[in-house]
């Protein structure tokens, strides 16, 4: 057996005492100090926060996308992007405040001139970005570089774009003289606070037509619950929306005429073939049955 000297035993005892002393030392001080120091650092102010609560501005909530904000406020998502100098429409944050009415006055940003005619300023284009179906969850979405979303299914027919919005026919004041967007039966009515439009039945591939003259402000599948969607801005304060199509036959910024075929009926993001049709005035859904002619 190896002989252990007294000096070795003494050294070992000292080492054990040092280890026990280290274990008994408080370990919570450093984290507390780190939390205290981090709390003193100023928080980053979100874009537009100084305008929160002001008329003409909107504070982004969880689940929002620029498409939904545009639909809810009666504006084109591209115009909102231009008015707020948003280069990537996917990079918006909860709590961010955006302008939802056109800027006015000499101090308006350079984007205004283009936005007022439906265009996008050349210095900060957003036409090359696609809005993702994923809503805002409090973190910026990754950059997107794909072209604007087209319909799935049948390929869209080639169309020419036009920069100007045709003047809508009106029946009283600034209210357009609408026509039915599809020939099928009405299978669900508008319900205030529940269903924001009519549901029209039909077969896959049935024609969907523009209910009035206007300009396409969205064509794609980036708004959850609507499937392949077209939104048209009309004269005055009106938008119309056409959802669940199997194919989209028009492109964003294209001028369309009342009765022009814009899509084919389908069942994207729906449990049956249907057309969900909305009319909105200043972003607020109104009952299409009260606006459309009897049939």
In a domain, 21, yes or no: no
Select from 148, 181, 202 the last residue of a domain. Answer: 148
In a domain, 109, yes or no: yes
The pLDDT score that the predictor gives to residue 9 is: 60
The pLDDT score that the predictor gives to residue 236 is: 76
> In terms of C-beta density within 10 A (0-12 exposed, 13-18 middle, 19 or more buried), how is residue 214 classed?
buried
In a domain, 39, yes or no: no
Q: Taking a C-beta distance cutoff of 8 angstroms, is the pair 274, 201 a contact?
A: yes
The pLDDT score that the predictor gives to residue 43 is: 74
Q: pLDDT tier at 33 (50, 70, 90 boundaries)?
A: very low
Mean pLDDT, to the nearest integer, of 11-39?
Answer: 47
Q: Taking a C-beta distance cutoff of 8 angstroms, is the pair 198, 181 a contact?
A: no
d(CA 241, CA 197): 9
Select from 99, 115, 148 the last residue of a domain. Answer: 148
Q: Residue 223's domain is classified under what CATH number?
A: 2.70.70.10
Whether residue 137 sits in one domain with residue 203: no
Which stretch, 49-53, 83-87, 205-209, has highest mean pLDDT? 205-209
The pLDDT score that the predictor gives to residue 199 is: 98
Q: Is the pLDDT reported for residue 213 higher than 90?
A: yes
Q: pLDDT tier at 3 (50, 70, 90 boundaries)?
A: low
Give whole-number Cα distances, 153 to 87, 204, 263, 267, in Å: 30, 11, 11, 11
Q: Taking a C-beta distance cutoff of 8 angstroms, is the pair 278, 197 a contact?
A: yes
> What is the H or E stretch that residue 284 is in?
strand 284-286
pTM higher than 0.75: no
Q: Which residues contact 3 (CB under 8 A, 6 or more apart)?
A: none
CA dihedral for 285, 114, 77, 167, sign (positive or negative): positive
The pLDDT score that the predictor gives to residue 5 is: 57
Q: pLDDT tier at 8 (50, 70, 90 boundaries)?
A: low
The pLDDT score that the predictor gives to residue 116 is: 37
Place of tokens 């390929």: 155
- Overall domain count for the chain: 2
37-41, 143-147, 261-265: segment of lowest average pLDDT:
143-147
Question: Which domain, by its residues, includes 120?
Answer: 47-148
Select from 85, 113, 148 the last residue of a domain. Answer: 148
> What is the H or E stretch that residue 98 is in?
strand 97-99
In a domain, 164, yes or no: no
How high is the mean pLDDT of the chain?
Answer: 75
Higher pLDDT, 138 or 203: 203
Place of tokens 């045709």: 166
The pLDDT score that the predictor gives to residue 193 is: 84
The pLDDT score that the predictor gives to residue 29 is: 44
The pLDDT score that the predictor gives to residue 2 is: 53
CA dihedral for 157, 158, 160, 165, sign (positive or negative): positive
Mean pLDDT, to the nearest integer, of 154-174?
Answer: 43
Q: Residue 104's domain is classified under what CATH number?
A: 3.10.350.10
In a domain, 17, yes or no: no
> In terms of C-beta density within 10 A (0-12 exposed, 13-18 middle, 19 or more buried), how is residue 5 classed?
exposed
Whether residue 185 sits in one domain with residue 84: no
Q: What is the pLDDT of residues 244-292, one digit of tens each?
A: 999 999 999 999 999 999 999 999 999 999 999 999 999 999 999 999 9
Q: Is the pLDDT reported for residue 44 higher than 60?
A: yes
Whether residue 120 sits in one domain with residue 218: no
Whether residue 144 sits in one domain with residue 88: yes
Q: What is the pLDDT of residues 216-241, one digit of tens each?
A: 999 999 999 999 999 999 987 999 99
């Amino acid at each position: 057996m190896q002989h252990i000297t007294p000096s070795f035993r003494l050294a070992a005892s000292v080492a054990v005492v040092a280890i026990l002393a280290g274990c008994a030392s408080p370990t919570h001080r450093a984290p507390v100090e780190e939390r205290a120091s981090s709390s003193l650092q100023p928080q980053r102010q979100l874009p537009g926060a100084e305008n929160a609560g002001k008329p003409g501005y909107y504070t982004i909530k969880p689940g929002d996308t620029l498409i939904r904000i545009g639909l809810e406020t009666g504006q084109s998502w591209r115009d909102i992007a231009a008015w707020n100098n948003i280069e990537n429409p996917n990079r918006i944050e909860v709590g961010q405040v955006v302008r939802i009415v056109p800027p006015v006055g000499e101090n308006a940003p350079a984007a205004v001139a283009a936005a007022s005619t439906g265009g996008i300023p050349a210095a900060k284009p957003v036409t090359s970005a696609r809005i993702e179906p994923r809503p805002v969850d409090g973190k910026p979405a990754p950059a997107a570089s794909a072209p604007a979303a087209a319909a799935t299914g049948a390929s869209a027919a080639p169309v020419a774009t036009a920069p100007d919005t045709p003047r809508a026919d009106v029946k009283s004041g600034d209210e357009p003289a609408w026509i039915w967007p599809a020939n099928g039966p009405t299978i669900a009515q508008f319900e205030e606070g529940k269903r924001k439009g009519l549901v029209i039945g039909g077969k896959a591939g049935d024609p969907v037509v523009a209910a009035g003259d206007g300009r396409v402000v969205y064509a794609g599948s980036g708004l959850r619950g609507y499937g392949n969607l077209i939104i048209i801005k009309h004269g005055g304060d009106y938008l119309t929306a056409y959802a669940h199509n199997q194919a989209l036959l028009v492109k964003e910024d294209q001028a369309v005429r009342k009765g022009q075929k814009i899509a084919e009926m389908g069942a994207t993001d729906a449990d049956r073939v249907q057309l969900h049709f909305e009319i909105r005035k200043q972003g607020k859904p109104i009952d299409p049955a009260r606006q459309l002619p009897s049939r």
